[in-house]
């Protein structure tokens, strides 16, 4: 037995064994009881059939020469003494009774020897049934020596000197009973031991096989679980639908799949986190180094620098401080969203108004970059049900990107359109576009299509947008063609006034 099998649910096997042993004992004792009962009945029925005519013969033989009654009406005791003597010589187990027609015991040799507890009247119904069926049917009658007990008998009617009655012969008398009980006890003991031993032997073989078959699937599952536990993540139960414990086998496979899936997810999350930290520290270092360089130059060469140069250097430091604070803000925002610390506070608000405000906010920047920025809103006023500040943040990131990746003389359009129960928001630009193979990854944090474009941002803008969409149970799609431009489209539930 291998280590695996040894540790396999010993409790279960113990229980199976216990149930099995109990079953065997129960089967053994029922078997002995049933066999004993029928063996006894068989023996009694055979004896009764064999001796069915005894009573008839006694009457025919003994009463032809002498009457069973004396002249004074009393029982002819010597005749019966004689009769009993003859009969006992052949068969000691029989007991002869002379009954009147009401079943009263008129005489019995055995009874004469004194048996105080004996009954004086025998029930006639079994006797009449016996006579009617000519002794061919198994019937038990009263045992005068043992009130309450039923015995096999032979009976025949007599009619002598105008007196009627029955000759009643108990075939399995006290003697028979004693011998029978004794023998039965011995047989029972032998039969019991033999039958139980044989049953145990067969059951042991069958039981071992049954337990082996029953626990076969369990062993297989335990082995697979152990393999999985030992690091073999590929370990699965083959053909779980064929297993006797299909639900268990399937559940294990599903559990293993989900564990592996979660591990993969965690690995990729971990990988992205490391990438994020590496990239963020790089992005923090660059502006910090620039800042340090320019501040040092201003400190050392303050006297030799022209006013023009000083202004330029200060502008550069200012730009880098902006960049740094932007990065830190985005990181803070993103980590809050990722840690699920943000709960959207949804309320009805006018997305049209919000769009107007945002267009106004970005107009100066657009003009600086010579980009046409416009709001395309056919509806007068579109109301949505969402978190206003989160939606503002998402739109801001999308407009910023559109302006960032669009060249001079390009165009950025924010359009709102009511579609059924939703309002569709579309930010379209005529900018650089995104290569098709990169499009699926742009919403992953810290992915920049063109690494040289890093100077533009930190790669968290769209990841933040994606998280905001998730919080509103909506999705964002991107339609983009390189050199032609991009469209970012998402829906928000419309609010009916």
- Residues engaged in binding ligand ADP (CB under 6 A): 397, 401-402, 405, 429, 431-434, 442, 447-450, 453, 456-463, 486
Q: Which is nearer to ligand ADP, 139 or 464 (CB)?
A: 464
Q: Shortest approach of ligand ADP to residue 393 CB, angstroms?
A: 12
Q: Which is nearer to ligand ADP, 391 or 458 (CB)?
A: 458
Residues in the chain: 497
Q: Shortest approach of ligand ADP to residue 350 CB, angstroms?
A: 25
From the centroid of its chain, how far is CA 112?
77
| Among 19, 32, 22, residue whose Cα is nearest residue 196 | 32
Distance in angstroms (rounded) separating the CA atoms of residues 228 and 258: 13
Q: Which is nearer to ligand ADP, 95 or 429 (CB)?
A: 429
Q: Shortest approach of ligand ADP to residue 372 CB, angstroms?
A: 15
For residue 39, with 0-12 CB atoms within 10 Å meaning exposed, 13-18 middle and 19 or more buried, which class applies? middle
Q: Which is nearer to ligand ADP, 4 or 487 (CB)?
A: 487
Q: Which is nearer to ligand ADP, 235 or 324 (CB)?
A: 324
Q: Shortest approach of ligand ADP to residue 440 CB, angstroms?
A: 11
Contacts of 188 (CB under 8 A, 6+ apart): 32, 36
Q: Which is nearer to ligand ADP, 220 or 327 (CB)?
A: 327
Distance in angstroms (rounded) separating the CA atoms of residues 494 and 7: 62
Closest chain position to ligand ADP (CB): 457
Distance in angstroms (rounded) separating the CA atoms of residues 366 and 373: 6
Which run of H or of E encompasses 224?
A: helix 216-229
Angle at 15 between CA 11 and CA 17, to 5 degrees: 115
Q: Shortest approach of ligand ADP to residue 332 CB, angstroms?
A: 15
| Among 38, 54, 43, residue whose Cα is nearest residue 135 | 54
Contacts of 173 (CB under 8 A, 6+ apart): 93, 94, 95, 110, 143, 145, 151
Beta partners for residue 140, in sequence order: 152
| Among 41, 151, 32, 139, residue whose Cα is nearest residue 94 | 151
Please report the sign of the dihedral spanned by the C-alpha atoms of residue 186, residue 191, residue 192, residue 198: positive
Q: Which is nearer to ligand ADP, 168 or 488 (CB)?
A: 488
DSSP 3-state assignment of 76? coil
Beta partners for residue 476, in sequence order: 490
Q: Which is nearer to ligand ADP, 109 or 358 (CB)?
A: 358
Q: Which is nearer to ligand ADP, 96 or 462 (CB)?
A: 462
Q: Shortest approach of ligand ADP to residue 370 CB, angstroms?
A: 17
């Amino acid at each position: 037995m291998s280590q695996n099998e040894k540790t396999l649910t010993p409790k279960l096997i113990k229980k199976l064994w216990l149930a099995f042993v109990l079953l065997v004992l129960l089967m053994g004792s029922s078997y002995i009881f049933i066999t004993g009962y029928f063996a006894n009945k068989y023996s009694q029925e055979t004896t009764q059939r064999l001796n069915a005519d005894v009573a008839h013969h006694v009457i025919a033989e003994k009463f032809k020469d002498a009457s069973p009654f004396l002249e004074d009406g009393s029982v002819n005791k010597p005749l019966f003494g004689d009769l009993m003597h003859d009969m006992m010589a052949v068969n000691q187990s029989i007991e002869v009774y002379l009954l009147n027609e009401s079943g009263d015991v008129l005489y019995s040799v055995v009874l004469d020897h004194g048996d105080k507890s004996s009954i004086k009247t025998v029930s006639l119904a079994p006797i009449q049934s016996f006579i009617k069926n000519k002794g061919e049917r198994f019937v038990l009658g009263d045992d005068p020596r043992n009130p309450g007990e039923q015995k096999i008998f032979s009976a025949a009617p007599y009619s002598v000197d105008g007196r009627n009655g029955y000759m009643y012969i108990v075939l399995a008398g006290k003697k028979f009973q004693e011998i029978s009980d004794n023998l039965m006890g011995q047989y029972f003991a032998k039969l019991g031991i033999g039958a139980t031993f044989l049953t145990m032997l067969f059951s042991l073989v069958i039981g071992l096989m049954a337990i082996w078959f029953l626990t076969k699937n369990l062993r297989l599952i335990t082995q697979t679980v152990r393999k999985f536990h030992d690091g073999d993540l590929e370990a699965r139960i083959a053909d779980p639908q064929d297993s006797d414990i299909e639900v268990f086998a399937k559940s294990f496979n599903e559990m293993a799949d989900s564990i592996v899936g979660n591990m993969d997810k965690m690995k990729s999350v971990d990988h992205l986190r490391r990438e994020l930290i590496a990239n963020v520290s790089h992005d923090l270092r660059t502006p910090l180094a620039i800042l340090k360089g320019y501040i040092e130059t201003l400190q050392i060469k303050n006297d030799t620098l022209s006013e023009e140069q000083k202004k330029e250097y200060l502008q550069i430091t200012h730009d880098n401080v902006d960049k740094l604070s932007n990065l830190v803000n985005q990181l803070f925002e993103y980590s809050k969203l990722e840690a699920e610390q943000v709960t959207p506070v949804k309320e009805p608000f006018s997305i049209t108004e919000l769009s107007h405000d945002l267009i106004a906010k970005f107009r100066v920047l657009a003009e600086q970059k010579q980009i046409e920025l416009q709001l395309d809103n056919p509806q007068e006023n579109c109301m949505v049900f969402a978190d206003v500040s989160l939606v503002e943040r998402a739109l801001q990131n999308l407009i910023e990107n559109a302006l960032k990746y669009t060249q001079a003389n390009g165009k950025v359009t924010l359009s709102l359109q009511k579609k059924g129960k939703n309002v569709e928001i579309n930010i379209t630009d005529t900018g650089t576009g995104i290569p098709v193979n990169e499009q699926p990854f742009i919403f992953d944090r810290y992915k920049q299509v063109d690494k040289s474009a890093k100077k533009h941002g930190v790669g968290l803008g769209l990841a933040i947008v994606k998280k905001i969409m998730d919080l509103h149970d909506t999705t964002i799609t991107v339609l983009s063609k390189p050199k032609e431009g991009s469209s970012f489209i998402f829906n928000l539930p419309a609010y009916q006034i």
